[in-house]
Amino acid sequence: MSVEELVDYIDESQILKQLGGVVISGGEPFLKKDFTALCAYLLNSYPRASVGILSNLYNRELVISRLKELAAGIDRMWLGTSLDGLGELHNNTRGIGNAFQKFCRTLAALREEFPAFSVTVNYTLTTENYSGIYDAYAFCRTQGMDLSVQFPVPWEGAEKFSFAPEQLSKIETLLQRMMADGVADFEAGKIDERGLLAKLFYLDGLTDYQRNQRRVFDRCVAGRRFVNISPEGKVYFCPCLKHMLIGDLREKPFDEIWLGKEAVALRRKIDRRFCHCWLNCTIYPNASEALEEKKPAPVRGTPLQRLSGLFARS
């Protein structure tokens, strides 16, 4: 689907007028024809929305040149990337001998050209790279980047990883070190309490979910607070449910799809807890909503004690 076609479909939607954020993924979005035109449209047409770009950070010149073209809106943009460990851990996972070096060169250029530009990093655990979580986290911390961690999504056809009990225990220990650093940052006034508690909840539940996979929240934000559109215009609620389409932009306007019977039926199915996951896109918003509903006064003590008290009653 061309940028012009996509813009036409988005522009006619009344529901999307209140858009709060857009994430452009790929492949490599910076390689897409008319990438800057799409970003400029989103920034100009949706003044309250942030625009995130998911990139592998391989091509320093391309990334910097594209962002320079969008410099007027750079304060509302952010970049998301993936790191699979430091040095050879990242190189081996990516199958590219200098992937980590490319990552570091592009990151250094970003920091030089756009010092305040937000970069977030995701670390997908495998049975080969799990021991490198904390080193990657510490590296990101020195670079002013937030690191999130997840287990692989079991896509159809993707490699499946089975973690031994001792591997999960090691991961748990490393995550606890990250959580302790987060508490220290909070106590030093570097992060706010709500953000800290949501992060602690996510990290604390990561290995627990892996051991005992089940639905945690009754209500999921998928299909209510966010939506996905494929390059071909297919519309679906959630990356884990990309096989369950609710419509096609080439066949029906977005607002009709969002309010249509397929979308309503799938929301009901989700509410009946037929699916579950432990991913950033669902757990963080659900945790944040739970925190908003809770009154802080009855739960006292350290951040970790308040965390336990708040979510024990969710």
Q: Is 211 exposed, middle or buried (0-12, 13-18, 19+ CB in 10 A)?
A: exposed
Tokens standing for residue 56: 């592998």
CB 149 within 8 A of CB 133: yes
- How far, in Å, CA of 157 to CA of 147, rounded? 27
DSSP bridge pairs for 123: 149
pLDDT digits (tens, 9 = 90+) for 112-159: 999 999 999 999 999 999 999 999 999 999 999 999 999 998 777 777
Q: Is the pLDDT of residue 299 over 50?
A: no
What is the C-alpha radius of gyration for the chain, rounded to an integer number of angstroms? 20
Task: Please state, for a pLDDT cut of 90, what percent of the chain lies above it.
Answer: 75
- How far, in Å, CA of 215 to CA of 271, rounded? 10
pLDDT the model gives residue 311: 52
Look over the chain and give the mean of its residue pLDDT values, rounded to a whole number. 90
Closest CA to 255 of 1, 2, 3, 9: 9
Tokens standing for residue 237: 């609620």
pLDDT the model gives residue 309: 53
Q: Is the pLDDT of residue 233 over 90?
A: yes
pLDDT the model gives residue 298: 45
The dihedral formed by the CA atoms of 305, 308, 309 and 310, expressed in degrees to the nearest 10: 120
Which phi-psi region, left, alpha or beta, contains residue 27 (left: φ > 0; alpha: ψ -120 to 50)? left
Q: Is the pLDDT of residue 304 over 80?
A: no
- How far, in Å, CA of 269 to CA of 58, rounded? 40
Going from the C-alpha of 64 to that of each of 68, 79, 140, the distances in angstroms are 6, 12, 20
